[in-house]
Amino acid sequence: MKHQLRLTGVFLSRFHHPAQVIATGFAALILVGTALLTSPMATNSGESAGWLTALFTATSAVCVTGLVVVDTATHWSVFGEVVIAGLVQVGGLGIMTMATLFTVLVAGRLGLRARMFAQAETKTLSMSDVRRVVRNVVIFSLVSELVVAAVLTGRFMTGYGEPPGRAMYLGWFHAVSAFNNAGFALWPDNLMSFVTDAWICLPIALAVIVGGLGFPVVFELARAWRRPSRWSVLTRVTVGVTLVLLAVATLIFLVTEWRNPRTLGGLDDSGKLLAAFFTGVMPRSGGFNSLDIGQLYPSSLLATDLLMFIGGGSAGTAGGIKVTTFGLLAFIIWAELRGEPRVNIGHRRLAESAQRQVISITMIGVVLVAVSTYLLLAITPHSLDQVLFEVVSAFGTNGLSTGITAHTTPAGHLLLAALMFIGRIGPLTLGSALALKERTRRYELPEERVIVG
């Protein structure tokens, strides 16, 4: 055991920043998943899926995205589906979260370097609390998945006549996929067959929302849900923006698609409300669909693009630039419009470093989406709205698709896979992982005002 810990310490000491370990860990897991999915055991046909299909699927699973180039239900065997679910589970919790828990259970103690790595992955604010937080994260995740799986299992048995074993398997797979905001489903039409079934759609939607809030926010709500005045800025912004986006998204899809015969038009009023709510939840990063995304009106596709780009909460299983980033950006713009020198949220002042991070993450995301859209348009015959949708879905680790992913060129598949990887670990995390060392400036230059705008 001491020899193993010594080797782990030697390995970790080669990295100068926790982000490097996070990026390397995710890349290593993708390679392992690719190797498993290229096995003939992973497919129903008994033939190897090919390295590109396996790589894309493994990346989509580890990055909890849900974009696919082959149908999950018909192409992969039970072994392949279990591998995908396992990759989703580990990817959702985070490589460093799982590694930290393993260290705690085996070694019984946690070193400073390992705590730093876990802190970078779980976004905890105090290094002394990392071990407790990691345990709570894992317990909360597994219990949440168990509850959702139990509800889905009961519904599949009583409502659709599935045998107990099959019902439990379906319930477990979709609970893991939902809580981790992955969007993988075991039906060729995803969840379109259950568009009006509240016992299927609502538990999955709730799991997506809870998993996408972020663990720090969930834990604070559990402690002080009755005292909003004591909530941190993170919790206030995350909860407030999430509720607004859910309401706005539901209203947008309800109004825009109400008479669309290919989406909501053929449903009754209660079915339309349920489908609009479910469709409004999924752009958070859920990736499931109960409506045919390819049949949405262009205005609905654009709204979905924006929602996918924003994503869910920080330190959760959702992707995008995060609702916290979006909310803080709104406060920054509002303060600038009012001519205020400081950005205040409630009774707290937003640190200048946080403001720079908000602007950097947003701009990096915009540039990545713009460049990737241009490249994908250049190598595929698809339209701009379709390509933009797939690019934003990949960057936001969302998984919703207009149906063109499987028909994209191999170069396009590699581009989308790279976007999923970058979107999962975060632009700033990837940038710091690639940097050899942090640079500090020991002097200040004279200030000069520049005309802007």
Residue 311 corresponds to which tokens in the numbers above?
């994503």
Which pLDDT belongs to residue 401? 93
Q: Examine the pLDDT at 366 and tell me if it is beyond 70.
A: yes
Determine phi and psi for 271, rounding to 5 degrees. -65, -40
State how far the Cα of 371 lies from the Cα of 419, in Å rounded to an integer: 11
136 part of a folded domain: yes
pLDDT at 150: 97
Q: Quick check: is 333 in a domain?
A: yes
What is residue 214's DSSP assignment? Answer: -
d(CA 382, CA 373): 11
Cα separation, 345 vs 431, in Å, equals: 28
pLDDT, position 110: 52
Helices marked H in 38-111 — which ranges?
A: 51-62, 72-75, 78-93, 95-107
Q: For residue 333, is pLDDT > 90?
A: yes
Closest CA to 182 of 100, 66, 298: 66
Sole residue written with tokens 């402690």:
223
Cα 267 to chain centroid, rounded:
30
Q: State the average pLDDT over residues 352-377.
A: 90
- In this prediction, residues 203-218 reach a mean pLDDT of 90
Q: Got the DSSP string for 226-239?
A: T-GGG--HHHHHHH
Boundaries of domain holding 108: 2-433
Number of domains in the chain: 1
Q: In this structure, is residue 449 part of a structural domain?
A: no
pTM, entire model: 0.87
Contact (CB, 8 A) for 100 and 134: yes
Q: Is residue 451 part of a domain?
A: no
Token pair 């403001």 is found at: 355
Residue 7 reports pLDDT greater than 80: no
| Residue 309 within any structural domain of the chain | yes
Name beta bridge partners: 345: 348
Lowest mean pLDDT among 52-56, 138-142, 214-218, 427-431: 427-431
φ, ψ (nearest 5 deg) of residue 76: -90, 145
% of the chain with per-residue pLDDT over 90? 59
- Best CA proximity match to 375, nearest among 339, 404, 413: 413
The pLDDT value recorded for residue 4 is 46
Q: Cα separation of 286 and 211, whole Å?
A: 9
Q: Using pLDDT thresholds of 50, 70 and 90, give the confidence band for residue 17.
A: low
| Domain-located, residue 443 | no
Task: Encode pLDDT of 282-302 as tens digits.
Answer: 998 899 999 999 999 999 999
Contact predicate 282/206, CB 8 Å:
no
438 inside domain: no
Q: What's the mean pLDDT in 193-220?
A: 92
Asked if pLDDT for residue 15 goes beyond 70, the answer is no
Assigned domain for 448 exists: no
Given a cut of 50, whether residue 332 has pLDDT beyond it is: yes
pLDDT digits (tens, 9 = 90+) for 230-259: 888 888 999 999 999 999 999 999 999 999
Name the residue among 203, 212, 181 with its Cα closest to residue 400.
181
Q: Give the model confidence (pLDDT) of 101-112 as tens digits.
A: 554 444 455 565
Q: Are 43 and 49 in contact (CB under 8 A)?
A: yes
408 membership: H or E segment, kind and range: none
